[in-house]
């Protein structure tokens, strides 16, 4: 879950990086070099978000999973012994 939410800031940083790269192509001299370096940093930051999100998700450190576990364990324990039927032939 944390991995999917890490894609949002990564997308924002990618858009910023492409904008800076586009603007730097219109500049000349030292400003062009600085713009390219800034765009590369934006791309590196954009890559770090999904990597961090994947690590947190795979390591089991995602706080959203812990919150969802507590919510689902409450539902399961409160309905213990009650058979729920959805009318679809499975329950």
pLDDT tens digits, one per residue of 50-64: 999 999 999 988 888
Burial of 12 (0-12, 13-18, 19+ CB in 10 A): middle
- Of the pLDDT bands very low, low, confident and very high (cuts 50, 70, 90), residue 23 is very high
Q: Full-prediction pTM beyond 0.85?
A: no
CA–CA distance, 47 with 91 (Å, rounded to integer)? 44
CA proximity to 10, closest of 34, 41, 42? 42
Domain assignments of the chain as residue spans, ordered by start? 2-60
Helices marked H in 1-91 — which ranges? 2-26, 30-59, 63-78
- Of the pLDDT bands very low, low, confident and very high (cuts 50, 70, 90), residue 91 is very low
For 62, other C-beta atoms within 10 Å of its C-beta total 18
33 versus 69: the higher-pLDDT residue is 33
């Amino acid at each position: 879950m944390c991995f999917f939410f890490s894609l949002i800031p990564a997308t924002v940083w990618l858009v910023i990086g492409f904008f800076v790269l586009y603007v730097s192509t219109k500049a000349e001299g030292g400003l062009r070099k600085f713009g390219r370096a800034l765009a590369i940093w934006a791309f590196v930051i954009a890559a770090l978000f999904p990597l961090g999100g994947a690590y947190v998700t795979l390591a089991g450190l995602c706080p959203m999973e812990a919150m969802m576990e507590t919510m689902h364990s409450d539902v399961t324990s409160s309905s213990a012994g009650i058979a729920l039927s959805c009318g679809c032939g499975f329950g």
